[in-house]
């Protein structure tokens, strides 16, 4: 089988555990994002797969072959770096052709492949230029062409877009996705940008302190975060902690329903509720019983951003955040009494 | 020295001048003629030095000979003393010779070997031929006494063109096992003399000072306590201890056989330098 | 402009000082110093080179071009010049290889304090007296010197490895003295090479020698060229090392020129020879830099 398999990989730097017991399959042809804050080990994991870092334990298999002891140059990987890392003394064509040369492909055959790769990253005819003559976005496209032209078994992207400005980044995200789809390369993408990860990926892996805490399709990870960390890092969440009472959870006097399977009566659990899943209505117009969960609250403040509104609210001791569309142009004032409501399936039970 | 004399009239009362420059200074009327009768210690001066032609201009004496020395050969103890400078090219000293990196001295040696006047060799090609013949023997060209001492003590060569004064010091200070040898062709000599500038305001005191400088008593003190070049005063040399190295090396008979370095006209000096440069390049090639 | 107007306008003019004037004002001290310390003495020497004899005493000053005929009148000087050039090329070449390797090791294999300490060790030859440095080599490489003693420790009947008074001895002494230039210039050049560039090459399948010759050497080329110039120029003029370590073979343009100044007292010839060498070196560099520039743009 192809794709990338990481088995029981661990890496320590001195007493610092950078990665702990990582076992994960990156399916062939999929685009997987490694998402986590700095220090979570996502870059180290990528560098272990690339071969720049040797794991203390565990094994790495690329396209079915065990490459744990194989040096970088023999791994057939394509890698794109945050700093582009183009060879400044070589033309664009020479940069893109570098990996081909290492594989013994030279002359006409190489030129054809280089042209094709430049075509793919939409830089046809740029072969004669030098990196310093290109914009940041163009340089990154060259870096991408250089990495894919060798038809690697896996494409490794180390925060390749974070040096670009916002507009260019969005443009490149689209390009990246298109190129990945066209080339069908197994791609592993390191980022700390959650939006980027959600937009691009077939799968998102959330890393926290050297572990993959959750991996799945973006919607799955977003809608059903397994841990408090995952819920918090990917998007925003309100956390409600209370005790199990029958088939519901009693939180600050209110009874909150969830569709998740609850532990035994009396156990303490935390429910995560996404701010955009909560409907907000003035107390006087609220109709109870329409949805499973409702909670009276008071608006503490409103953040007005034009298209959307962010309400900061209090309900007893609880602090809550709610995103609302600015549909009628008259946001609720601070101090207004409101009722918050959401459906039971949006109360997601999370660990820790 | 001459420049100082020219530009500072009246400042100096006694000047030390190499014999090769004496006539030039006298010719420019920078010096006072001297009468040796006024110098009680002059009676001991070696006649060959005292009456040296280089100290005289138009029959008048302008300098009192004071100290002298020689460039000749030094050989490691226990080896046969060479009789001629020809040893420098002899096969038994293959890669075992050090030459003094000095154009005048080495052209002098070459002139001796080709039977010419060391101060005015007419046939420079013959000089060059003699010097180039030393190539297989030449291990190094020394330019400082310190360098010579280090190389000799490391056993890098056994035979060398060397200074008499340096030979004394090398034996005295470093106990280096060497003999200073003056071959049959004679040594290349130098002589320093003391003169009184024409502009001196204290001619009498100057004469007294010069007389003191050639006093054997002063010389013995100087030579034994501090170390000095050979004195031009034979009596002074005789008063040194019998086993004194300085006395041993600077034998009075060498004064007779040595050739003093003469004043060189500029073009001859340049020719000497160019020839020596060429010989060195030949050694290196 | 009337005086009151200029007084009133002073703050404004000060702010609006033309940029060329500001540049000139800023450059002035360094150029003044350069003129004083380098150009004037050089100009004096250049003037000397057209004299018949060293201008001393009351000899008449005679202007002539004869000194520049030296290579024609004394053809053996061509051999000497060739020997100097070859010593220069060997020294520069060895410095380039060793210096680049040392700089690479400093940049890639060390960090922090260890790197600083090693850098200082590399610079040590700079701070030792040149004469001491050269003489200490004579003790090591002469027959029966430290080198022989060391080898015979392991192999008592070893033949002497002493090579004092040979051209390699001169090159060794010069390499030792001038290596720090190359280490420093390469070190600075290599410091600016992005680690990711090397990793990118590896990820594309480059082995260490490909990384070295296709990435590191070309990227550090400015350092190598600067180092080579810094070394080559003084080395072909060096006289101490050839004199002390070269023995009989230690005749170079450096010693010939030095002899003219110290022994022969023929400053005009010394100057003329020095300027001839300078012209040759500049011509070589001009050609070389032209080639470099062309190869950089194609």
A254/A205 same-domain check: no
Considering A172, A203, A233, which residue would you say is the last residue of a domain? A233
* Model confidence band, residue C160 (pLDDT cutoffs 50, 70, 90): confident
Q: Residues B112, B174: one domain?
A: yes
Contact C248 B269 (CB under 8 A): no
Q: Which of A179-183, C29-33, C105-109, C292-296 has the highest mean pLDDT?
A: A179-183
Is A57 buried (19+), middle (13-18) or exposed (0-12) by CB count in 10 A? middle
Query: Taking the CA atoms of chain C, what radius of gyration do you get in angstroms?
Result: 25
Which residues lie below 8 Å from residue A173, measured CB to CB, with a gap of 6+?
A: A161, A196, A199, A200
Are A188 and A327 members of one domain? Answer: no
Q: Mutation test of the interface with chain B: which of C251, C258, C267, C270, choosing the one with the most B Cβ atoms within 10 A?
A: C251
What is residue B7's predicted lDDT score, i.e. its pLDDT? 82
Query: Per residue in C189-248, pLDDT tens?
Result: 999 999 999 999 999 999 999 999 999 999 999 899 889 988 998 998 999 999 999 988
The domain that holds A324 is classified in CATH as 2.40.50.100
The enclosing domain of A44 has a CATH number of 3.40.50.300
Contact B278 C74 (CB under 8 A): yes
CATH of the domain at B165: 3.40.190.10
Is the predicted pLDDT of residue B210 greater than 70, yes or no?
Answer: yes
Examine the domain organization and report whether B135 and B271 are in the same domain: yes
Are B134 and B167 within one domain?
yes
Give the residue from chain A lying closest to C210, CA to CA: A102
* Any domain includes C28: no
Same domain, B173 and B278: yes
pLDDT tens digits, one per residue of C161-202: 889 999 999 999 999 999 999 999 999 999 999 999 999 999
Of C251, C260, C269, the CB nearest to B283: C251
The residue among B48, B58, B52, B7 whose CA lies nearest residue B30 is: B7
Inside any domain, residue C97: yes
The count of domains in chain A is 2
Among the partner residues C53, C143, C243, nearest to B143 by beta-carbon distance: C243
Inspect the interface and report whether the beta carbons of A72 and C199 lie closer than 8 Å.
Answer: yes
Can you list the positions of beta strands (E) in A217-258?
A: 238-245, 248-251, 254-257
- Does residue C273 belong to any structural domain of this protein? yes
pLDDT tens for residues A294-318? Answer: 888 999 999 998 889 999 999 888 8
Give the domain range for residue A77.
Answer: 4-233
pTM attached to this predicted model? 0.82
Of residues B194, B202, B233, the one with CA closest to residue B217: B233
Q: Residue C265 domain-assigned? A: yes
ipTM computed for the complex: 0.87
Mean pLDDT across C146-172 = 91
What is the Cα–Cα distance from A78 to C129, expressed in whole angstroms?
A: 53
Nearest residue of chain C to residue A145 (CA atoms):
C204
C295 at A interface, C-beta within 8 A: no
Q: Chain-wide mean pLDDT for chain C?
A: 86
A260: distance to nearest CA of chain C, Å? 45
Confidence category of residue C37, pLDDT binned at 50, 70, 90: confident
Residue B5 inside a domain? The answer is no
User: In this model, does residue C3 exceed pLDDT 70?
Assistant: no
Tell me, yes or no, if C292 comes closer than 8 A to chain B by beta carbon: no
Instruction: Give C129 or C201, the one with higher predicted confidence.
Output: C201
Tell me, yes or no, whether A40 and A166 share the same domain: yes
C207-221: b (≥16 Cβ within 10 Å) or e = eeebbbebbbbebbb
> Into how many domains does chain C fold?
1
Q: A308 with A171, same domain? A: no
Task: Region of B32 please: left (phi>0), alpha (psi -120 to 50) or beta.
Answer: beta
Task: Tell whether the model's pLDDT for residue C119 goes beyond 70.
Answer: yes
C58-82 residue pLDDT tens:
677 888 888 898 888 889 999 999 9
- Going from the C-alpha of B120 to that of each of A336, B185, B267, B268, the distances in angstroms are 122, 16, 12, 8
Residue C33 within any structural domain of the chain: no
Name the E strands within A123-237.
154-158, 187-191, 203-208, 211-216
Q: Based on the fold, state whether residues B39 and B138 are members of the same structural domain.
A: no
Q: What is the domain-level CATH number for residue C127? A: 1.10.3720.10
- pLDDT of C298 higher than 60: no
**pLDDT tens column, A251-276:** 878 889 898 888 888 899 999 999 99
For chain A, the average pLDDT equals 91
Task: Assess whether B150 and B168 both reside in one domain.
Answer: yes
pLDDT digits (tens, 9 = 90+) for B174-187: 999 999 999 999 99
Q: Is the separation of the CB atoms in A75 and A64 below 8 Å?
A: no
Flag whether B1 is in a domain.
Answer: no
Question: Are A83 and A44 within 8 A, CB to CB?
Answer: no
Enumerate the residues of chain C whose CB falls inside 8 A of the CB of residue B143: 243
Based on the fold, state whether residues B163 and B102 are members of the same structural domain: yes
- Judged by a CB distance cut-off of 8 A, whether residue B242 touches chain C is no
Of B140, B150, B280, the CB nearest to C165: B140
Is the domain of B278 the same as that of B235? no
Are A115 and A261 within one domain? Answer: no
From chain C, the residues in CB contact with B135 under 8 A are 248
Q: Which of A211, A233, A255 is the last residue of a domain?
A: A233
Instruction: Give the residue numbers spanning the domain of B22.
Output: 11-68+195-260
Average pLDDT over residues A123-136: 94
Is residue C68, in this structure, part of any structural domain at all? no
Residue C55: inside a domain, yes or no? no
Distances (CA, A) of B282 to A122, B228, C77: 69, 37, 10
> Which residues 241-280 in chain C show a CB within 8 A of chain B?
243-244, 246-251, 255-256, 259-260, 263-266, 269
pLDDT band at C8 (very low <50, low <70, confident <90, very high): very low
Q: Is residue B98 part of a domain?
A: yes
At residue A123's C-alpha, the angle toward residues A121 and A124, to 5°, is 115
- Looking at residue C288, what is its pLDDT? 74
Binary contact (C244, B138; C-beta < 8 A): no
State phi, psi for B157 to the nearest 5 degrees. Answer: -155, 160
B139/C263 Cβ within 8 A = no
Q: What is the mean pLDDT of chain B?
A: 92
Task: Give the integer Cα–Cα distance in Å for B111 and B124.
Answer: 8
Domain boundary among A179, A203, A233: A233
Written as six digits, the tokens of C50 are 């057209």
Average pLDDT over residues A130-151: 94
Q: Are B1 and B14 in contact (CB under 8 A)?
A: no
The answer to whether B156 contacts C250, with C-beta atoms less than 8 Å apart, is no
| Edge-to-edge strand list for the sheet holding A4-13 | A16-26, A4-13, A57-62, A65-66
């Amino acid at each position: 089988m192809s794709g990338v398999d990481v088995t029981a990989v661990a890496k320590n730097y001195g007493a610092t555990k950078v990665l702990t017991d990582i076992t994960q399959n990156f399916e062939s042809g999929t685009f997987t994002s490694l998402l986590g804050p700095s220090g979570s080990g996502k870059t180290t994991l990528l560098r272990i797969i690339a071969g720049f870092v040797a794991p203390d334990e565990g094994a790495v298999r690329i396209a079915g072959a065990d490459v744990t002891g194989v040096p970088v140059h023999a791994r057939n990987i394509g890698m794109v770096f945050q700093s582009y890392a183009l060879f400044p003394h070589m033309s664009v064509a020479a940069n893109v052709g570098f990996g081909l040369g290492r594989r013994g492909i030279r002359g006409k055959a190489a030129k054809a492949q280089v042209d094709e790769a430049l075509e793919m990253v939409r830089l046809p005819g740029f072969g004669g230029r030098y990196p310093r003559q290109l914009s940041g976005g163009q340089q990154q496209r060259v870096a991408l062409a250089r990495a894919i032209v060798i038809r690697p078994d896996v494409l490794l992207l180390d925060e390749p877009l974070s040096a670009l400005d916002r507009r260019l980044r969005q443009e490149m995200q689209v390009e990246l996705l298109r190129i990945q789809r066209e080339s069908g390369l197994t791609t592993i993408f390191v980022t700390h940008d959650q939006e980027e990860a959600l937009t691009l990926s077939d799968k998102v892996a959330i890393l926290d302190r050297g572990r993959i805490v959750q991996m799945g399709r973006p919607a799955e990870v977003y809608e059903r975060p397994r841990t408090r960390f995952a819920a918090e890092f990917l998007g925003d969440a309100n956390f409600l902690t209370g005790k199990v009472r029958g088939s519901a959870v009693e939180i600050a006097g209110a009874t909150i329903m969830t569709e998740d399977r609850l532990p035994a009566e009396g156990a303490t659990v935390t429910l995560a509720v996404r701010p955009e899943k909560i409907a907000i209505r003035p107390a006087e117009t609220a109709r109870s019983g329409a949805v499973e969960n409702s909670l009276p609250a008071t608006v503490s403040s409103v953040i007005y951003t034009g298209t959307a509104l962010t309400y900061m609210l209090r309900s007893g001791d609880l602090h809550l955040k709610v995103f609302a569309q600015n549909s009628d142009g008259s946001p609720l004032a601070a101090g207004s009494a409101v009722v918050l409501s959401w459906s039971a399936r949006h109360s997601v039970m999370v660990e820790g | 020295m001459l420049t100082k004399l020219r530009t500072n009239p009246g400042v100096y009362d006694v000047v030390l001048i190499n014999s090769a420059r004496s006539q030039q200074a006298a010719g420019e009327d920078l010096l006072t003629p001297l009468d040796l009768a006024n110098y009680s210690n002059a009676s001991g001066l070696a006649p060959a030095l005292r009456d040296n032609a280089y100290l005289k201009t138009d029959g008048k004496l302008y300098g009192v000979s004071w100290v002298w020395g020689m460039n000749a050969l030094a050989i490691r103890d226990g080896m046969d003393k060479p009789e001629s400078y020809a040893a420098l090219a002899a096969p038994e000293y293959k890669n075992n010779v050090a030459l003094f990196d000095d154009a005048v001295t080495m052209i002098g040696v070459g002139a001796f070997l080709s039977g010419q006047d060391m101060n005015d060799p007419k046939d420079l090609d013959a000089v060059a031929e003699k010097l180039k013949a030393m190539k297989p023997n030449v291990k190094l060209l020394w330019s400082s006494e310190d360098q010579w001492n280090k190389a000799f003590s490391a056993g890098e060569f056994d035979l060398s063109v060397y200074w008499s004064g340096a030979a004394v010091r090398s034996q005295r200070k470093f106990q280096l096992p060497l003999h200073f040898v003056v071959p049959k062709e004679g040594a290349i000599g130098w002589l320093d003399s003391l003169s009184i500038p024409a502009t001196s305001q204290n001619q009498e005191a100057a004469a007294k000072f010069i007389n003191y400088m050639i006093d054997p008593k002063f010389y013995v003190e100087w030579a034994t306590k501090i170390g000095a070049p050979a004195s031009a005063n034979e009596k002074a040399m005789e008063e040194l201890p019998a086993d004194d190295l300085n006395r041993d090396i600077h034998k009075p008979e060498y004064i007779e056989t040595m050739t003093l370095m003469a004043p060189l006209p500029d073009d001859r000096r340049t020719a000497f330098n160019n020839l020596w440069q060429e010989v060195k390049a030949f050694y290196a090639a | 402009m009337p005086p009151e107007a200029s007084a009133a306008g002073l703050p404004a003019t000060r702010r609006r000082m033309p940029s060329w004037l500001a540049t000139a004002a800023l450059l002035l001290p360094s150029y003044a110093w350069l003129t004083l310390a380098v150009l004037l003495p050089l100009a004096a020497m250049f003037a000397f080179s057209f004299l018949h004899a060293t201008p001393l005493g009351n000899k008449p000053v005679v202007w002539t071009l004869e000194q520049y005929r030296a290579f024609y009148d004394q053809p053996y000087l061509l051999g000497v010049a060739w020997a100097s050039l070859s010593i220069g090329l060997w020294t520069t070449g060895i410095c380039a290889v060793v210096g680049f390797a040392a700089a690479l090791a400093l940049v890639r294999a060390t960090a922090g304090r260890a790197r600083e300490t090693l850098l200082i060790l590399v610079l040590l030859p700079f701070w030792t007296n040149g004469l001491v440095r050269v003489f200490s080599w004579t003790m090591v490489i002469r027959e029966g010197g430290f080198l022989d003693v060391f080898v015979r420790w392991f192999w008592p009947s070893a033949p002497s490895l002493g090579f004092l008074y040979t051209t390699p001895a001169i090159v060794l002494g010069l390499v030792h003295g001038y290596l720090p230039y190359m280490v420093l210039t390469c070190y600075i050049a290599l410091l600016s090479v992005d680690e990711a560039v090397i990793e990118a090459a590896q990820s594309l399948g480059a082995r260490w020698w490909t990384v070295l010759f296709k990435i590191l050497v070309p990227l550090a080329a400015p350092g190598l060229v600067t180092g080579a110039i810094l070394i080559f120029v003084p080395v072909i003029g060096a006289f101490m090392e050839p004199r002390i370590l070269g023995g009989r073979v230690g005749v170079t343009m450096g010693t010939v020129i030095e002899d003219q100044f110290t022994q022969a007292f023929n400053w005009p010839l010394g100057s003329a020879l020095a300027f001839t060498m300078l012209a040759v070196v500049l011509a070589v560099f001009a050609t070389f830099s032209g080639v470099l520039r062309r190869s950089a743009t194609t």
